[in-house]
Structure 1
Amino acid sequence: MKQASIPGLAGREMPTRTYRERRDSRWRRLRRDKWLYILLIPGALYFLIFKYVPMWGILLAFKNYQPYLGFWKSDWVGFEHFRVFFDNPDFFMLLRNTLLLSFYNLVFFFPAPIILALLLNEIRLSFYKRTIQTMIYVPHFISMVIVASMSYVFLTTEGGAVNEFLYTFTGRKIDFLSSPDWFRPLIILQTIWKECGWGTIIFLAALAGVDVEQYEAAVVDGANRWRQIWHITLPAIRSTIIILLILRMGTILDNGFEQIFLMMNALNREVGEVFDTYVYALGITQGAFSYSTAVGLFKSVIGVTMVLGTNWLAKKFGESGLY
């Protein structure tokens, strides 16, 4: 089949734009969208100054850094710090504690905002919906120091409200704060209480874009509320769930320093010590800057690998992924 030709251009090649024309076109677009680029400057400076410029500091992981010698005069030791770290008897203990906490967060905390968003989406009276949203958002703005203090007040064996209640009805008390068996459940419960409401924001925004006509058609077909959630609501926010799951996998070795540090003590340290607290203990209190940097770099490499691997799996199963 012959291609249709444009009258008057048969046998002639379409002219290509010169470098000057392309440059002028870029400048015209730049002038047209100048205010958008100006708005971009603060965010770009933040990432440049606080994210990219400090990355040269990972070279400390390959040096035996001595403060009195400075960065450039300190000896280059290559992968020595990584070898010492992997040979350390505490390595598998740290890895086990970190992965277990991440696994429990993934199983119990990650679905919590989704379930809460689905429940909020079913509330039809806007006044009650806004009131409940405000109440569950508030804990996000409470400092983790306050959360740990509240946990101590409620759970301590010396006058704690929960233990006093248990003692009244059972005649015994439970040492929640020092028991290794209760450390991980407390961390997960604190995380759910503090961040679950805030995590619903993205899912509620995704639910706002669901076509109402799909629900109306489902009602005509006789679908109840559970069927509508399963066949309409969840598929509509599936891509959002997948993207957040991929990003979550990037922090699989990052449990948050402040919460663990505040809740950990000598009696539960065996199950509470994670990479974040280990880096603090070595890098800040003992001055092992190069060694702690090597541990941090190990965490970062694992995080990037998990993001890339999870994104690859998501695309293999037909999802869009991050890129």
Structure 2
Amino acid sequence: MAMLQQEHASRKPLKSTAAISRFSNILRNWQLYVMISPVLAYYILFHYVPMYGIQIAFKDFRINKGIWDSPWVGLKHFDRFFNSYFFERLISNTIELGLYLIVIGFPIPIILALLLNEAKAERFKKFVQTITYAPHFLSTVVVVGMMMIFLNPRYGLVNQFISALGGDTVNFMANPSWFKTLYVLSDVWQTMGWSSIIYLAALGGIDTQLHEAARVDGASRIRRIWHINLPGIRPTIVILLILNLGSVMAIGFEKVLLMQNNLNLASSDIIDTYVYRSGILDANYSFSAAIGLFSAVINFLLLVVVNAVARRAGGTSLW
């Protein structure tokens, strides 16, 4: 008994010492905590606090009754969505557009970063970086407005060029078969430069002695890129690929909504735009919350599965 009391007494100073050490560490690095506090506040206020409202997906929410007093209906809204006329179209359009973005949009920043890393002329390199970075700072409204002007069937530059070659004008924005291609290509144009920054940073961390040794051995530039640069940035590529695949259902509705019209609805209607129509325009808050929760769960499951596959295949993962 005395030994137990002695052991218990000896643990208290250890715990207090650890607490003092943590507190002193915070005081010593207070600048870092001040810098990160706005980010933490943003996520707490706009991402974690709203999770309280997830429960309305299982209720018939009424504004006058509030969340707690609204009647509980279980999986009624999920069943309604799964059996709705639009379910198959929404799922297929969302997945197709998300995968299209990854297949086309994901490799291009990697290729751009590899090419810029090999460029020797600094002026040319800075010029290309400026040209490719600039579209990132344009708002989505401006980008879609530019698309409408260039692709206008009467006076658009693209259709004028087609007419000059003897072809028939095409109403690109109203054609469902063109919607996904236009969305992806415009997204690549707007984001490829900005997305390449992280790969350029990863390439900058590769030991230059590896390239010097390969050059002495007679390796060509292509072989050095393939055997040194790509393996050097592989962990970065894998992490970003996991994050992209884990958000394949979360495309975002702003650009889709701006490009959407009644003529291309068969190809442009995705889960997020349907949630907007149901939740904001039709005031079906519980129904739209159920759809949003379903999409979030699918994204979470994809993230877990892809992360597990990446960890087993190459040893690189988020956790």
Q: TM-score, normalised by structure 2?
A: 0.93
Which of 30, 37, 46 aligns to 1:34? It is 30
Task: Specify the code of the residue in structure 2 equivalent to 1:213.
Answer: Q
Secondary structure class of the residue paired with 1:66:
coil
Which residue of structure 2 aligns with residue 284 of structure 1? 280
Deviation at 1:16, TM superposition (A): 9.4
When you count helix as a share of all residues, which structure comes out higher? 2
Partners of 1:295 and 1:16 lie apart in 2 by 50
Question: Cα gap change, 1:17/1:290 in structure 2, threshold over 3 Å: closer, same or farther?
Answer: same
Task: Specify the code of the residue in structure 1 equivalent to 2:250.
Answer: D
Contact 1:239–1:319, Cα closer than 8 Å, also in 2: no
Which residue of structure 2 aligns with residue 121 of structure 1? 117
Task: Specify the code of the residue in structure 2 equivalent to 1:234.
Answer: L
Which residue of structure 1 aligns with residue 208 of structure 2? 212
Which residue of structure 2 aligns with residue 188 of structure 1? 184
Deviation at 1:38, TM superposition (A): 2.8
Deviation at 1:67, TM superposition (A): 1.5
Partners of 2:26 and 2:188 lie apart in 1 by 45
Secondary structure class of the residue paired with 2:168:
coil
Most deviating of 61-70 and 31-40: 31-40
Residue 106 in structure 1 maps to residue 102 in structure 2: yes
Partners of 2:67 and 2:224 lie apart in 1 by 61
Secondary structure class of the residue paired with 2:74:
coil
For residues 142-291 of structure 1, what are the structure 2 equivalents within 5 Å?
A: 142-291=138-287
Partners of 2:83 and 2:11 lie apart in 1 by 66
Most deviating of 25-34 and 100-109: 25-34
Question: Cα gap change, 1:166/1:71 in structure 2, threshold over 3 Å: closer, same or farther?
Answer: same
Residue-by-residue CA offset, 1:158-188 (whole Å, 9 max, x unaligned): 1111111111212421121111111111111
Partners of 2:210 and 2:299 lie apart in 1 by 39
Which residue of structure 2 aligns with residue 97 of structure 1? 93
Which residue of structure 2 aligns with residue 5 of structure 1? none
Secondary structure class of the residue paired with 2:267:
helix
Deviation at 1:41, TM superposition (A): 2.1
Which of 71, 74, 80 aligns to 2:76? It is 80
Deviation at 1:262, TM superposition (A): 1.1
Partners of 2:11 and 2:92 lie apart in 1 by 64
Residue 133 in structure 1 maps to residue 100 in structure 2: no
Which of 311, 314, 317 aligns to 1:318? It is 314
Partners of 2:193 and 2:15 lie apart in 1 by 53
Task: Specify the code of the residue in structure 2 equivalent to 1:150.
Answer: M
Deviation at 1:17, TM superposition (A): 5.1
Deviation at 1:15, TM superposition (A): 9.7
Deviation at 1:23, TM superposition (A): 3.0
Residue 55 in structure 1 maps to residue 51 in structure 2: yes
Secondary structure class of the residue paired with 1:295:
helix
Residue-by-residue CA offset, 1:185-226 (whole Å, 9 max, x unaligned): 111111111111111010011011111111111111111111
Residue-by-residue CA offset, 1:139-173 (whole Å, 9 max, x unaligned): 01111111111111111111111111111212421
Which residue of structure 2 aligns with residue 43 of structure 1? 39
Which residue of structure 2 aligns with residue 307 of structure 1? 303
Contact 1:95–1:274, Cα closer than 8 Å, also in 2: yes
Partners of 1:117 and 1:241 lie apart in 2 by 12
RMSD in angstroms over aligned alpha carbons? 1.6
Question: Cα gap change, 1:70/1:136 in structure 2, threshold over 3 Å: closer, same or farther?
Answer: same
Contact 2:246–2:303, Cα closer than 8 Å, also in 1: yes
Partners of 2:251 and 2:180 lie apart in 1 by 11
Task: Specify the code of the residue in structure 2 equivalent to 1:125.
Answer: A
Q: Which runs of 5+ in 2 are unaligned?
A: 1-9
Partners of 1:163 and 1:205 lie apart in 2 by 40
Deviation at 1:124, TM superposition (A): 1.0
Task: Specify the code of the residue in structure 2 equivalent to 1:321.
Answer: S
Q: TM-score, normalised by structure 1?
A: 0.92
Secondary structure class of the residue paired with 1:174:
coil
Residue-by-residue CA offset, 1:98-136 (whole Å, 9 max, x unaligned): 111111111100101001111111111222211211111
